[in-house]
Each structure stands twice: as structure tokens, then as C-alpha cells.
Amino acid sequence: MSDILRELLRVSEKAANIARACRQQEALFQLLIEEKKEGEKNKKFAVDFKTLADVLVQEVIKQNMENKFPGLGKNILGEESNEFTNDLGEKIILRLCPTEEETVELLSKVLNGNKLASEALAKVVHQDVTFTDPTLDSIEISIPQDILGIWVDPIDSTYQYIKGSADIKSNQGIFPSGLQCVTILIGVYDLQTGVPLMGVINQPFVSQDLNTLRWKGQCYWGLSYMDTNIHSLQRLDSTRKNSEARSQMTENTSSEAERSHPFSAVISTSEKDTIKAALSRVCGERIFRAAGAGYKSLCVVQGLVDIYIFSEDTTFKWDSCAAHAILRAMGGGMVDLRECLQRNSEMGLDLPQLVYHVENEGAAGVDRWANKGGLIAYRSRKQLETFLSLLIQNLAPVDTCT
């Protein structure tokens, strides 16, 4: 249903405005600064501010979608709980109120009576946002609303968000850290099959005006349902393909290093040594480190790298669903790394795509929704098959994911 995707794009932009406001408005920024200091907290301070920002973004997404599409709200799940209890035992349910004044009143309870901060935050929460994309406007597709589930990661890479570094230099377009690594992730999946159908990645901090210090963002989306595959980078992709076709007609100027190491990959700074050693033999020096699962997936979506690989079990459904849906629309996907390494490709087994509707058996808490076998994000199945073949050849004969 393209109407749902349009609304998700709109609410993701509203969420990005909240994330930017919390960095740019003095009353709110001071609360972020306080977060980075050690020491005692005021007992009335119901919640640390980064969590408040997360929950507020999540609730804005959830309640805006429920208002527009009644019944959908119950199927929207996220990382954060909206119930807080402070050290005095006061229980506060954070929600989006009908009016700005009511939201100010509720936020004041959470923020220990900080009226200035509450008013600044409520204003951006209730501000109307418009968002249009000509590519999306060209399609009409009907997906039954009752089969849809939604995963939300309101602010992915909260450490980078709180740290707030604005002067990090990119490495071939990829930022190792900094505000550019912060993303808002909304992924829609089929409740019955777990297959991702729609994804929105909003990057609130892409470029900063050096005069006003205001940030501008960028939004990426994709839809993959039955025979329809459409995404926000299609015009860019067609330009890139034309450019590639022209370059093939001219002399091949690719370096010897690129020919001997045809793949590029983005990884976590905490990646295992066994994976890093194998990758260095497959990718050579074309390995990039970056913060944030959402941002690393976005690097694959943007075509900055071929592969995002992560062997740990510390990403979750809300981290991967949005990018997975966009990559499906592009002809790629996201697979379970451990299962890929154990799979016999000669037997013609399907690639083990991540699914989003089933809890991990025997797990508790957030681990119920962890991507337990690690993951690989990719844009091309053919590329993935070749990459996996090379990776397996270069891995030491041990189980890398246990």
C-alpha cells in the first residue's frame, strides 16, 4: 500500500526533525551534554535524555501511523518501552498527546519541570511535515493492512548521536563515526511469512550549513511486494549504469589491486579477527569500518560498498528490517551469515534470508529478536555467491559464529 509508505516517509521526516532539534536547540542540547557527564542524577529525573529522545521518536511514528491507519499501531514494535519509573517510584507513560499544550505538560513531568525544554520538544513533535517523492507518486499498489508488521529503531547509533561529532572526515564516502552514522529505521514485514516488504532509512545528519550550523538529512526507501520492486535510488542507479556502460567502452583503468580484490566491505570495529583476516584476503584494503548497523546497511544500499558483514549476534530485527526491504527492492537482500557458511551451494539450497516474525526459541528479553547467526547485506545475488565462495575458501576451518 503506497499510502502507508508515503506516511512512513512523512513520519520518518518528523522523527528526523525531533532528532535534529535535540541537537540544535540549546534547551534540549544542554540535556544531551549532561548525559555525557559522570555523577549523580536528580532522583526526579525520570529517564536519561537519549532514551527519552528514542522513545519520543518511536511514539511519534507509532501514534501517527495509528491515527492515519487505525489498527496498525498494535503491530508496530520497537526497541524502547514507553513506560518510565523514576527513583521515587513515579510511573510515567510517555505518549503523543492530542494537543501541544498537553504534550508540554507530560514532558515536564518526565523532565523534572524543565518547561523550556518541554516546550521546545513539544513544538517540533506537533509540527506538521510534508514529504513527497516523484518516484513513489508514480505507483499505486494495494497490500492488505492486516498482514503488516513494523519494526522501528527510533535512533540507531545513539552513542554517535550523543557524542555529536560533526567534523569526521569520510573515507571514500563512508564515515567511520560521527553524526552521519545516525539513522532512523522503519521496516515493514509480512506478519505471516516474515518477509520484509517496505523500508525507510532516514539519515538526519548528512550535511551541515557552516553559517547556521543547521543540518540537512536524506531519506531512502524501497518497496518489494509480489511483482513490484521500486526504490528511491532508481534514477541514480540508471545514471550509474549508463556511466558504467561508457567506461566499459573506454580503456580499462581499474587498478591491479581492484582486479585481484574485486569486493569491498563495511564492518564493525568489533568484528572477529577470523572474519577480518579472511576479508583482508578477499577485499584487500577495500575494507571500511563504520558505526551503526543501520548506517553500515545504508552504505550497501547507496552502493558505497558491495557487502556489509557482521558475525556477532548483537544486531536485532529493528536494526535490519528497513535496509533488508530496500535491498530486496534493488535485487539484493540480507542473509544469515552462520547458515551461509554451513550451506552447501552445490545442493542448490536457497540463501537463508533473515525473517522478522519469529522469536528466537529459548531466548529472553531483547535477545528474542536478535539476528543470532550474524548477517550479510548485499545488492546482487550473483555477487554474494562469488563473495561467499571466496570467504569460505579463506576462512580458517573453525565455526566463526559460535
The cell for 130 is: 510534508
Q: Which of 18, 155, 201, 267 is catalytic?
A: 155
87 belongs to an annotated ligand binding site:
no
Task: Give catalytic status of residue 153 as yes or no.
Answer: yes
Burial 125-164 (b: 16+ CB within 10 A, else e): bbeeeebeeeebeeeebebeeeebbbbbbbbbbbebbbbe
* Residue length of the chain: 402
Q: Which of 7, 59, 80, 153 is catalytic?
A: 153
Q: Which of 13, 59, 80, 156 is catalytic?
A: 156
Q: Please list, in sequence order, all residues whose beta carbon lies within 8 angstroms of the beta carbon of residue 286, skipping any fewer than 6 positions away.
A: 257, 258, 261, 263, 264, 265, 305
In degrees, rounded to 5, the angle at the alpha carbon of residue 145 between the alpha carbons of residues 142 and 149 is: 120
Identify the sign of the CA torsion 355, 291, 64, 98.
positive
Residue 312: CB atoms within 10 Å: 18
Burial 194-207 (b: 16+ CB within 10 A, else e): bbbbbbbbbbbbee
Q: Which of 79, 190, 306, 336 is catalytic?
A: 79
Tell me the C-alpha distance between 314 and 227, whole Å.
Answer: 33
Q: Which of 13, 313, 319, 336 is catalytic?
A: 319
Q: Which of 4, 143, 150, 158 is catalytic?
A: 158
209 belongs to an annotated ligand binding site:
no
Q: What is the dihedral of CA 358, 385, 242, 196, to 10 degrees?
A: 0
319 belongs to an annotated ligand binding site:
yes
190 belongs to an annotated ligand binding site:
no
Nearest to 152, CA basis, from 199, 105, 118: 199
Mapped onto helix, strand or coil, the DSSP state of residue 289 is strand
Burial 346-372 (b: 16+ CB within 10 A, else e): eeeeebbebbbeeeeeeeeeeeebbbb
Task: Give catalytic status of residue 155 as yes or no.
Answer: yes
How far is CA 185 from each of CA 46, 137, 251, 318, 338, rounded to the nearest angstrom? Answer: 26, 21, 41, 7, 24
Residue 250: CB atoms within 10 Å: 7
Q: Which of 7, 13, 54, 59 is catalytic?
A: 54
Nearest to 335, CA basis, from 290, 269, 381: 381
Tell me the C-alpha distance between 108 and 110, whole Å.
Answer: 5
Task: Give catalytic status of residue 319 as yes or no.
Answer: yes
Binding site listing for Mg(2+)? 79, 153, 155-156, 319
List the catalytic residues. Answer: 54, 79, 153, 155-156, 158, 319
Binding site listing? 79, 153, 155-156, 319
